[in-house]
Copies of this chain bind each other. A is one copy, B any other.
Amino acid sequence: MAKLQSCVIALAKHMKNLSILSSRRRYKVLFANSAVQCIGNLRKIGDLHVLIDASVYNIYKKELKVLTNARSTYIVETNEKQKTLKGVENFVLHLLNNNVKKNHTLIVIGGGIAQDMGAFTASVLFRGIQWIFLPTTLLSMADSCIGSKSSINVQKYKNQIGTFYPPLTIFVCTEFLKTLPKTEVINGFGEIIKHAIIRGGTEGKHLLKEIEQYRRSASGMKKIIYSSLVIKKRIIEQDEFDTSQRRLLNYGHTFGHALEGYTKNIIPHGIAVMIGMDIANYISYSRRLLNEKSYRYLHELLFRYIPDIPCPIKSVAEYFSYLHRDKKTFGSALHAVLAKDVGNIQVIPIQLDEALKKNIQDYVSSWI
């Protein structure tokens, strides 16, 4: 542990970094220059167990060779079936069979699913072992890597259990983005743009500019990711356990999740969230919570990133039934996250009634 911490402190001096406060501990996001540098640093730690996304493993086999000193390596096909309580049990059994001890460190390399499995396992094994995260997708680098949350499925029920348990350190290495499928890149931008809109003001505008300017270079992506995390950091440090301000991060998600369910996940998460924000904004605008100028501005901003597709909602009634299933529905009210302006986002309960159905019908009709 002492060795691990001194290793992290030494690295922090050489890398751009960010420090996040959580109830459990303060933890760091370090920006590495290359996958080799990033992975190479880990071998110094000792007593490692590695959980790695199979597709990342297949691409970075050569770089990962330095980790042959790990006590065990678990290569996982990252799909929803692995992200279950049963999948976690299999992983815990693998670790116990490999004599994992309370003072060992788990290294998680991959995107959101690897993060969920790794974070949840690290939080409950021996009531908590230390873990280090190397996010390999844009979404996990620019959003999910901080905030301590994990989500695990219980059989058919998605994301119903989880914990709040941050890693000791996160190493962000944008080199991994070079091999990331395009859909996965868009997934990340959905959440980054969401952060920019939630924050608004100079900082929000600055992030939007950075996206325009830098999104095609790996070193530029570092700036975008850093700015995105700084906005999220401020929110989660004030409300780690998701009881007030943190709920704003669900902006676009209520309507987005319903869209994912309705389209059987054909629409990727990032695009669903962007369309979700556009639907939320349309509802705000229709109810005179958001003025026309701001609505138009946000609509144009989002459609710079939403691909040119026909409206994915064909049956409003069916889409509506997915809204009903939302976790944040209490009785007949939906805890919607709506924009009153750029930088002024609020949780507003809205009834799942005919008026809402009409809003969505109008939205669908307005899609060009």
A contacts, CB < 8 Å to B? 23-24, 85-86, 88-89, 92-93, 96, 101-103, 123-128, 149, 152, 154-155, 157, 160-164, 241-242, 327, 330
Contacts and interface: CB of A to CB of B under 8 A. Distances in A.
A126 B6 CA distance: 35
Given A161-B126, A242-B127, A89 B85 contact: yes
Nearest to A155: B93
Contact of A127 (B88, B124, B126, B149): B149
A352 to B, nearest CB: 16
Contacts of A103: 330
Q: Which 7 A-B pairs have the closest CB atoms?
A: A124-B161, A127-B162, A85-B89, A96-B157, A92-B154, A23-B23, A125-B161
Nearest to A123: B163
Nearest to A103: B330
Nearest to A25: B241
11 contacts: A85-B92, A86-B89, A92-B161, A93-B154, A93-B155, A96-B157, A124-B152, A124-B162, A126-B162, A127-B164, A128-B241
A127 B93 contact: no
Contacts of A241: 127-128
A149 to B, nearest CB: 7
Contacts of A88: 85
A163 B164 CA distance: 11
A162 B122 CA distance: 10
Contacts of A127: 149, 161-164, 241-242
Contacts of A161: 92, 124-127
B24 A125 contact: no
A87 to B, nearest CB: 11
A164 B92 CA distance: 18
Contacts of A149: 127
B96 A154 contact: yes
Contacts of A164: 127-128
B23 A124 contact: no
Nearest to A101: B330
A93 B89 CA distance: 16
A127 B24 CA distance: 15
A125 B124 CA distance: 13
B160 A126 contact: yes
A23 B128 CA distance: 15
B124 A89 contact: no
Contacts of A125: 160-161
Given A92-B154, A126-B160, 9 more contacts: A86-B89, A93-B154, A101-B330, A103-B330, A124-B163, A125-B160, A126-B162, A127-B164, A128-B164
